[in-house]
Amino acid sequence: MNTEHASEKLSALLDDALDAKDGLTVLEDLRGDRELRAKFHRYQAVRSVLRSEGGALPDIDFSARVRAAIDQEPVVLSPRVVRHEFRERVATFALAASMAALAIMVVRSVNHYSPDKASEMLASVNLSTPAVHASMEPDLREYLNMHNESAYLSGSQGLMPSVRLVSGNQGR
C-alpha cells in the first residue's frame, strides 16, 4: 500500500473514522509493518500530549510481546454462541410446530361447527328408521328440530349428540 495512503488511513483509524473493511486492512498492515506501527505510536503520542493525558506510552513492540504470550494460549472458540444458536433453532421449530398444530385444530373446529358441516351431519342422520320416527310426537319433533338447528348455527357443542337422536326433519 502506498505509504501516504496508508498513513492517511492510519490517521482515520485513530479517529474511529474507518469502516470495518478499511479498518481491517490497515490493522493488518500495522501487524506486518514496524515503521507504520512506529508512526501510529507517534500519532498516539501527539494525541496524548494535546489532550494533556500524560502518562507513559507502550513501546512499539508491546503488541509483539502480547502476541507472543497469546501464541502460548489455546485457540479460543465461542461455544456459547454455538449453543445459543442451537437453542434458538429448537425454540423456533417448536414454535412453528405449535402454530401449525393450533392452525389445524382451529380449522377442524371451524369445519366441525360450520353450518355446512352441520347440514351434512343433519342430512347424514337417518331418522326415517321406524324406531326413531315412532318414538317422537310430531310437535315435539318439530320443536326439537328448530332448536337443534339454531344451536348448530351458534356453534354449541353440547347439542351435537342430540342431533342423532332428535332431529327428524330431513326434508328441510
Q: Taking the complex as a whole, how short is the minimal distance between the CB of residue 99 and another protein, in angstroms?
A: 29
Q: How many residues bind another protein (CB under 8 A)?
A: 56
Interacting residue with another protein among 2, 20, 131, 138 (CB under 8 A)? 20
Interacting residue with another protein among 1, 2, 34, 56 (CB under 8 A)? 56
87 is a contact residue toward another protein (CB under 8 A): no
Q: How far is CA 102 from CA 68, 93, 135, in A?
A: 58, 14, 42
- Judged by DSSP in three states, 68 sits in helix
117 is a contact residue toward another protein (CB under 8 A): no
> Which residue in 60, 4, 59 sits closest to 35, CA to CA?
60
Interacting residue with another protein among 44, 119, 162, 169 (CB under 8 A)? 44
2 is a contact residue toward another protein (CB under 8 A): no
46 is a contact residue toward another protein (CB under 8 A): yes
Interacting residue with another protein among 1, 2, 34, 45 (CB under 8 A)? 45
Interacting residue with another protein among 1, 2, 53, 86 (CB under 8 A)? 53
d(Cα 87, Cα 144) in Å, to the nearest integer? Answer: 56
Q: Taking the complex as a whole, how short is the minimal distance between the CB of residue 2 and another protein, in angstroms?
A: 13
Report the sign of the C-alpha dihedral through residues 135, 140, 143, 148, in that order.
Answer: negative
Report the sign of the C-alpha dihedral through residues 147, 152, 153, 155, in that order.
Answer: positive
Whether 31 contacts 60, CB under 8 Å: no
> Which residue in 116, 115, 147 sits closest to 167, CA to CA?
147
For binding to another protein (CB under 8 A), which residues are involved? 7-8, 11-13, 15-20, 23-24, 27-28, 30-31, 37-59, 62-63, 65-67, 69-71, 73, 75-81
